[in-house]
Chain A
């Protein structure tokens, strides 16, 4: 029941917002976002506290520990983005708010449905809801970004569908047709009997397809364009959680492939894609010119690292990857939201144009600095811990070469980002920029505090949560 309400709220909000305008639209938007956040947290707590599984609609909707983790993340990041959204939507509220909440709805549906075929439909839905938002400003650049985004992601996701068809084929040929044949719970039970060659083949297609959505190189070409052209709150959601949903889909299928064909198959592929992604990102991050594209490429880097974590496997690899997804979501969404304020203050996306950020924006500037330190993986922020967990998992699994290469690539990206940050923060500031009222930054500060918590002192229950997520996906 809770799951149905969780999905119904953003959907209903989107429908109402199609007709609402002006002040009413802002109110309905705020209430919808608040209710979505509350419900998402309620689902997370209900599942993670009691180590329970929520189901609805005869098992069609299902939230285990992994789903609950993702639902919580979607709620938090969407909440952060919703606070900033009114600065961007004014004037064209009906082209913004409905798609904002539709986007949230499709993401929540993707992580709460047990049917892997329907998950595919929802993931494709995320592209279609967000492309309208990417093209919100209707400039030539945003138009180009939208076209690439919808075409590349639709083709990528079509390849994932090919993989899904093959999994379904493997299931029904071996066990006969059933209505629930594509349910993840069914497949996990039957996994030991699924034919290995077909499942391996299917996983290649699934990894390429959902890897496109996850922004893994070399299928990442749409990402820097779409993430830099979208309005800041949309960039925050796309970078913070939409990429993670691609990883989520890969993780669900990986847990089946690991049983059917042994863990080495999927692991090797993930290690390869992870390293390529980190290398591509490091090459770009050495000398970026546009700060939103810089943040976008940094997402390619972090998702590559997550892919490595899943590839290394073992308790540390999976837990590190899942924790890193959350840490990255918090840091990156705060950074993208602040990038919107920087753009408003400097009227440019070029790094060259941004000087004296600390003086020009006395609140947003230091926040940007702190969030960048978090993103760089410095202690006391959580990304440091999850990076150590992932690299450690690599050594533990005997992939020392891969782990060392990853560290080298991390250092290159680190140096490039730090140099760029230095250039933006200091220098001559041409007067004070306009800051939103102080309370509007409270959610971002809260997100950064949460990041310090995952870095310094794990809140009670986090270790248990990570363990139960690992238990869901490792047989």
Chain B
């Protein structure tokens, strides 16, 4: 079980890093869907090996909400916009370097957590935390609205993975509430992004600068 869950956590981090590297928006949305499927696989693994069958419901919710519904909403938000930023930004190399340093930092910060865990899934804890940190980084450096929302969802996925690996998931009621919240955040963000595109004819949030001081 340990090997399988570590491998899945590793693949999760790889998808996060690929999302930092890729410029194309549709490709990043597909990677997010893939990452959510990997999380669902992680949930099924724990459900089967640790006999936590409640996690099977969580896995189904992951597939429906995060691997299917949310990527579709993101695709709708970006529909018709150019698939990559028009002006070239910072090189992917620098972004990946920062992300790599965050991964190292994540290992250091998570040392006390990993050390006090006795679960067979503990090996993946720093990887999940790294997913969250890199997601936060992607969110604050996102160059357009979809990029920022993608970063937020990467952060959310990382925290979810952390809960799964460190404590086999949170109590069901809380988990359900979190799913609902993420769903509504994306719904609200979609409404706002559509309005922004209508008003400014762009996804580029740097153009939003009415409010100052």
Q: Are A201 and B113 in contact (CB under 8 A)?
A: yes
- Distance in Å: Cβ of B171 to nearest Cβ of chain A: 6
Q: Are A173 and B213 in contact (CB under 8 A)?
A: no
A interface size (C-beta, 8 A)? 51
Q: Are B152 and A154 in contact (CB under 8 A)?
A: yes
Q: Which of A115, A154, A224 contacts B173 (CB 8 A)?
A: A115
- Distance in Å: Cβ of B23 to nearest Cβ of chain A: 21
List chain B residues, Cβ under 8 A from A128: 181, 184-185, 188
- Distance in Å: Cβ of A221 to nearest Cβ of chain B: 10
Q: Which of B117, B178, B209, B213 contacts A293 (CB 8 A)?
A: B213
List chain B residues, Cβ under 8 A from A179: 171
Q: How far is the CA of A293 from the CA of B211 in the complex (A)?
A: 10
- Report if A182 contacts B (CB, 8 A): yes
Interface size class of B (residues with CB under 8 A): 35 or more
Q: Are A165 and B117 in contact (CB under 8 A)?
A: no
Within 8 A of B (CB), among A144-196: 144-148, 150-151, 154-155, 158-159, 161-162, 165-166, 168-169, 172-173, 177, 179, 181-182, 195
Q: Which of B152, B159, B192 contacts A165 (CB 8 A)?
A: B159
Q: Are B167 and A168 in contact (CB under 8 A)?
A: yes
- Report if B88 contacts A (CB, 8 A): no
Q: Is the interface of B mostly helix, strand, loop or mixed?
A: helix
Q: Are A141 and B213 in contact (CB under 8 A)?
A: no
- Report if B5 contacts A (CB, 8 A): no
Q: Are B167 and A159 in contact (CB under 8 A)?
A: no
Minimum CB distance partner of B158 in chain A: A162
Also in contact, A144 and B211, with CB within 8 A (given A118-B174, A121-B174): yes
Q: How far is the CA of A173 from the CA of B117 in the complex (A)?
A: 6
- Report if B149 contacts A (CB, 8 A): yes
Q: How far is the CA of A177 from the CA of B189 in the complex (A)?
A: 35
Minimum CB distance partner of A161 in chain B: B159
Q: Which of A159, A229, A289 contacts B213 (CB 8 A)?
A: A289
- Report if B163 contacts A (CB, 8 A): yes
Stretch at the interface among A132-140, A433-441, A456-464: A132-140
List chain B residues, Cβ under 8 A from A168: 163, 167, 170
Also in contact, A162 and B132, with CB within 8 A (given A128-B184, A132-B188, A135-B192): yes
Q: Which of B116, B148, B178, B188 contacts A161 (CB 8 A)?
A: B178
11 A-B pairs in the complex with CB atoms less than 8 angstroms apart: A121-B180, A131-B188, A132-B188, A140-B210, A141-B210, A159-B155, A166-B166, A173-B117, A177-B168, A195-B112, A290-B213
- Distance in Å: Cβ of B195 to nearest Cβ of chain A: 6
List chain A residues, Cβ under 8 A from B199: 140, 143
Q: Are A182 and B192 in contact (CB under 8 A)?
A: no
